[in-house]
Amino acid sequence: MQITKASDAVGAIVEDVDVTKLSDEQFTKIRAAFRDHGALFFREQQLTPEEHIAFARRWGPIDFNRFFKRREGYPEIAEVLKEPDQQLNIGGGWHTDHSYDEAPAMGSILYALEIPPSGGDTLFAGMAAAYEALEDDMKAQIKNLKARHGNAHIFGEESEYRKGFEGRYTNADQAGQTAVHPVVLPHPESGVKGLYVNPGFTLEIVDMDPAEGQALLQQLYGHIMEDRFHYRHQWHAGDLAMWDNRSTWHYALNDYQGHRRYLNRITIEGVALG
């Protein structure tokens, strides 16, 4: 088994390994790499749904996502699907999953089944690298701030975004959660500081003038969106990717109109942040 950095800011490639046959020693090394790099990418895996679920359970209890359509017969697995005739893709903007929950999901494990002949890459951004690169005065400004996150504008019954997905999102009546988290988050396992706001689900800076808060968020987003903090993953069928929601953003590019893209995702429970 070989583990090499995918970029200076985020991610590592794990090669020469079958995730269905990991020894305890190998899994310990993989868990450490996940903590240190925020995202891992395994090539050439051949997983049944049962094996995907078994690998996920090694990481922790499964978070049964309430908004994604589930794979028939496997409620643990959410379908990330775009058919050739559909225009919108799931995850087509920078975000981190579940930041609207009091205990956001630790991460997700995404397995590629059908990939278009070109396009459909996923971008990842490293929040620790982005935080470290901030000027000292900005670090001081955001040191003790908190942000409110929510999901009704994405998954709720009145969401125009959700209405465009033709049944690929479910349970709109269960949307509406909000949660408050630190803008600068010490990682729950490593203690390394990273930014914890995102364009998808962050609503506002708590106790700040709304206009000033939005201006600050946009300044932070613009910083994180710089290429130096990113890794771009080009998918192949059989790829398995997993990311830490506490230390990364991701963005699924929608540049493969007329082609089918189908992946299976399992999400792992996390802990309260703060």
Residues with a catalytic annotation lie at 95, 97, 250, 265
Structure tokens at 11: 């991610």
The CA-atom distances, in angstroms, between 174 and each of 46, 75, 107, 108, 143 are 34, 17, 21, 21, 33
Structure tokens at 252: 């699924």
Angstrom distance (rounded) from CA 117 to CA 148: 39
Give the H/E segment covering residue 26. helix 24-37
| Largest CA-CA distance found in the chain, in angstroms, rounded | 53
Q: What is the 8-class DSSP label of residue 232?
A: E
Strand partners, 194: 185
- C-beta neighbour count of 163 within 10 angstroms: 11
Q: How many residues does the chain have?
A: 274
Strand partners, 156: none
Strand partners, 262: 81, 114
